[in-house]
Amino acid sequence: MAKAEMGHDHAHSYEAPTKLTRNQSMVFSALREQEKPLTAYAILDRLRGDGLRAPLQIYRALDKLMEKGLVHRLESLNAFVACQHEACSGHSTVAFAICENCGLVDEIEDEAVNREIERVSRERGFLPTRATVELKGLCAECR
Amino acid sequence: MAKAEMGHDHAHSYEAPTKLTRNQSMVFSALREQEKPLTAYAILDRLRGDGLRAPLQIYRALDKLMEKGLVHRLESLNAFVACQHEACSGHSTVAFAICENCGLVDEIEDEAVNREIERVSRERGFLPTRATVELKGLCAECR
DNA sequence: TCGCATATGTTATACTGTAACGCAACCGTT
DNA sequence: AACGGTTGCGTTACAGTATAACATATGCGA
Ligand SMILES: [Zn+2]
Ligand SMILES: [Zn+2]
Ligand SMILES: [Zn+2]
Ligand SMILES: [Zn+2]
């Protein structure tokens, strides 16, 4: 039962982040119901009952959701999480604190971290387009 | 050949970076001959002529080399690079600036970046054990 | 020497991600 | 309504990354 916005036919105010397609909604819902990250195949397993059968259906939905800033990929886990902000299309960079005990992920946007990354890049003549910052350790609950 | 080095220190001085085994030496050499990162399978291809046949031989060597701080894994590329410092067993955290045009990787140790990562973790009650920081963009040559 | 830990070699398999194809739904134009 | 472009969908097959399990070998210390 995909819960993500069923109806909504009528024209809306702004650039309503373009409605999600059926597959995209299902994948997004699967990720939001879970606070922990899921691999593409884990998502697939949860959605087999809803008609999704092939990995590509998941990966295509994830690609679009990432474009829209609704989902992030955790490179160090080969997994995906729903964005914890409103939707980070804009965000310069976010960091993820990943608990190795309980799997909880905290999405962090921090100005000073981003500033230092910019500075160190500039000092080396490097022109960054995106950054991956992932911290492993113990969350406040588990430490 | 490839006996890796000789030398028996009767007196266990410190933990002299423990000699590399034959496979570890070959994998490490393959990585050092290349300034760009290599995937495990790319390393394997280069070492087939030297008797290595199976992925596991590569992965096992890489695991040990990473333990010793001689090699780093780039999570965002599923690839590996030789450490550009003396050997970062100790390093708190290093960042990698990865050129998307030429593939060059610059290994960066920066005190301020590390300090801000520590701070933001502390502020959230997160106890970090290791960090992955990978920047994608254009190197000084390619920009 | 025995015994243990570590390293190796090999096969098979699991996990992660794409290429390529054809069809369907959508949308703005005519 | 018919056209034509774009995007999404479904499927098969495959490529790329990583590990499990098991057997053998090798080094080193008690
Ligand atoms: Zn976000
Ligand atoms: Zn936790
Ligand atoms: Zn290093
Ligand atoms: Zn470059």
List the structure tokens of B37. Answer: 């990162």
- Mean pLDDT for A1-16 is 33
Exposure string of B16-38, with b = 16+ CB inside 10 Å and e = fewer, is eeeebeebbbbbbbbbeebeebb
Window from A89-93, A111-115, B44-48, B138-142 with minimum mean pLDDT: A89-93
- Mean pLDDT for A12-16 is 38
Cβ(B89)–Cβ(B69) below 8 Å: yes
Residue A8 vs residue A127, higher pLDDT:
A127
Q: CB neighbours of A107 closer than 8 A, spacing ≥ 6? A: A72, A81, A83, A84, A85, A94, A95, A96
Residues 15-44 of chain B in contact with strand C via CB under 7 angstroms:
21-24
* pLDDT beyond 70 at B14: no
Is B88 labelled as part of a ligand binding site?
Answer: no
Query: Distance in angstroms, CA of B56 to C1' of D8?
Result: 40
The pLDDT of residue A86 is: 85
Residue type, A87: A
| pLDDT tens digits along B58-100 | 999 999 999 999 999 999 999 999 999 987 876 679 999 999 9
Domains of chain B: 22-137 (1.10.10.10)
Cβ(B127)–Cβ(A143) below 8 Å: yes
pTM of the predicted protein model: 0.89
| pLDDT tens digits along A79-132 | 999 999 988 876 679 999 999 999 999 999 999 999 999 999 999 999 999 999
Query: Distance in angstroms, CA of A29 to C1' of D6?
Result: 26
